[in-house]
Chains A and B, each alone.
Chain A
Amino acid sequence: MPEKKVNILAIESSCDETSAAICRDGEILSNIIAGQKVHEQYGGVVPELASRAHMQNIIPVVHKACRDAGIALPEIDAIAFTQSPGLIGSLLVGAQFAKSLSLSLQKPLIAVHHMQAHVLANLISEPRPSFPFLCLTVSGGHTQIVVCESPLKMKVIGETIDDAAGEAFDKAAKLMGLPYPGGPLVDKYAQTGNPERFLFPEPQISDLNFSFSGVKTAFLYFLRNAGKSTVYKPEQTASEEEQEAFIRDNLPDICASIQHRIISILINKLKKAAVLTGIREVCIAGGVSANSGLRQAIRETGEKNHWNTYIPEFQYCTDNAGMIAITGYYKYLNKEFSDLSVISSARSEW
């Protein structure tokens, strides 16, 4: 008789995406993501709206994930969910749903850390990195470099001390008056711009940590001074008309230049991490890995430095339950279960 296969149902609700996935023996059979269009008109994710939308979405999303995978609820062996970090109201919706399902199906519950799951998204499909590998995880709320020694053994060796890379993109976009979500628009305008036309300072942080607040401040004054300098000089401040005209006339070059700096900050730390650890298997993960400039930079840097580089399929880069499912699968094999008293946490420590 063949060995019984392990089916994991995973639920992710840490921010504005409600997602459910089914994984069988490490293979993702379905990965359903319901985005929340409602935030675009507010210029960002609104926590209360996010929780309400999760409540509306969660049952249809789980239902579709099971149907697409051809799995009925009784066939599920364990339920994995995102425990932390994220918006607390959003996390609670997924956690309560997972706990209720665990109780009613009498199947074990697996609490998953969102950031660990982003890293393990690289194990979902071929080509997979070999251990140990480095992973740069970049999203709207996080920027980290992680050394991953085995699926359940990883260590954060660098992270942002202020803004996340995705936040830097979004705030830069907002300063230029671009609509939400601004990051992808910066990337789009950057395609036709000259990345070397304007120079923004690189933060001097000695270890593997990141800082983007200095670049943000420089960018703010760069726009206020209509491109004449990146430092605060009240006497240089341009009129609002001049500032608007400057942005309008130079948008592609401005976008390309700020994108170039944000990416070079990421890549330089990744290069440093590779030298310090001697690891040449290098992955990226998180929503910002959709950025075309970052994808190109990681490929080129990899070729130059003889790294093998990996980028997960796009559906596994943004917030998704597929990555929670693969993490849940490894935790299942290791029998890392949680009881119903496990609490959601906004705290990012792991």
Chain B
Amino acid sequence: MELIFHLDAIRDAARRFLAETKGKTVFAFHGEMGAGKTTFIHAICDEKGIRDIVSSPTFSIINEYRPEDAKNGEKIFHIDLYRMKDQEEAMLAGVEDCLYSGAICFVEWPEKAPGIFPPDTEHIYITLAGSETRKLRIGRN
């Protein structure tokens, strides 16, 4: 499916996104620098009631958040592979441990290590549709 939204309506888009992808746990966000990957993940986390501050994990590689109503140590991982050289490096950084933990994972720059993703990963493509609008495509066609 495709979603085109103005940045002012990003929360609505996040809500629709969550309804559309219910049951999925690993989300790979494709899009060039400035497309709005972190911003959209931020909106999804807001929708999910995450009170932790959601920010770019470019520096930290893996950010860990806890939903407000977390049960049994439920976690959400926000991962950024931007600085990874290859798949091996991503594995050594502990990215795989997150992806196969059963926890929800939002991953930016997945193309840096395409082979480490579980088969049921949901792929999302974000592109600019205008300076203030974004197009979101869910699924590999």
Contact residues in B for A163 (Cβ distance below 8 Å) = 38, 55-56, 58
Q: Mark B52-94, 1 if CB is under 8 A from A, else 0.
A: 1111101111111110000000000000000101000100111
Min CB–CB distance B69 → chain A (angstroms): 16
Contact residues in A for B34 (Cβ distance below 8 Å) = 213, 216-217, 220-221
For residue A140, CB closer than 8 A to chain B, the reply is yes
Min CB–CB distance B68 → chain A (angstroms): 12
A167 close to B62 (CB less than 8 A): no
Beyond the given pairs A171-B58, A220-B33, 13 more chain A to chain B contacts, judged by CB atoms under 8 angstroms and listed by A's residue number, are A42-B83, A44-B83, A47-B93, A89-B93, A141-B60, A164-B56, A164-B59, A167-B58, A213-B36, A216-B34, A217-B33, A217-B36, A231-B131
* Bound-state Cα–Cα, A232 to B131, Å: 5
A-B residue pairs, 10 tightest by C-beta: A141-B59, A217-B34, A48-B92, A231-B131, A47-B93, A44-B83, A220-B34, A232-B131, A347-B64, A163-B56
Query: What is the chain A residue whose CB lies nearest that of B82?
Result: A44
A167 close to B59 (CB less than 8 A): yes
Q: Mark B18-47, 1 if CB is under 8 A from A, else 0.
A: 000000000000000110101100100000
A85 close to B92 (CB less than 8 A): no
For residue B130, CB closer than 8 A to chain A, the reply is yes
* Bound-state Cα–Cα, A159 to B62, Å: 18
B89 close to A47 (CB less than 8 A): yes
A87 close to B38 (CB less than 8 A): no
User: B93: which of A48, A140, A347 is its contact (CB, 8 Å)?
Assistant: A48
User: A140: which of B55, B59, B61, B64 is its contact (CB, 8 Å)?
Assistant: B59
* Bound-state Cα–Cα, A232 to B31, Å: 15
Number of interface residues of B (CB under 8 A): 29
B interface, by DSSP: helix, strand, loop or mixed? loop
* Bound-state Cα–Cα, A141 to B53, Å: 13
* Bound-state Cα–Cα, A346 to B66, Å: 12
Contact residues in B for A216 (Cβ distance below 8 Å) = 33-34
A-B contact pairs, 20 of them (CB 8 A): A42-B83, A46-B89, A47-B89, A48-B89, A48-B92, A48-B93, A85-B60, A140-B59, A162-B39, A162-B42, A163-B56, A164-B55, A167-B59, A216-B33, A217-B33, A232-B128, A233-B131, A345-B64, A347-B66, A349-B52
Assuming the contacts A164-B59, A213-B39, asked whether A46 and B54 have C-beta atoms less than 8 A apart, the reply is no
Contact residues in A for B61 (Cβ distance below 8 Å) = 47, 87
Contact residues in B for A347 (Cβ distance below 8 Å) = 52, 63-66
Min CB–CB distance A155 → chain B (angstroms): 13
B59 close to A89 (CB less than 8 A): no
Contact residues in B for A44 (Cβ distance below 8 Å) = 83
Contact residues in B for A348 (Cβ distance below 8 Å) = 52-53, 63
Assuming the contacts A163-B56, A232-B131, asked whether A43 and B93 have C-beta atoms less than 8 A apart, the reply is no
Query: What is the chain B residue whose CB lies nearest that of A345?
Result: B64
Assuming the contacts A43-B83, A213-B38, asked whether A159 and B93 have C-beta atoms less than 8 A apart, the reply is no
Contact residues in B for A48 (Cβ distance below 8 Å) = 89, 92-93
For residue A286, CB closer than 8 A to chain B, the reply is no
For residue A175, CB closer than 8 A to chain B, the reply is yes
Contact residues in A for B56 (Cβ distance below 8 Å) = 160, 162-164, 167, 213
* Bound-state Cα–Cα, A171 to B54, Å: 19
Contact residues in A for B42 (Cβ distance below 8 Å) = 161-162
Min CB–CB distance B82 → chain A (angstroms): 8
Query: What is the chain B residue whose CB lies nearest that of A88?
Result: B94
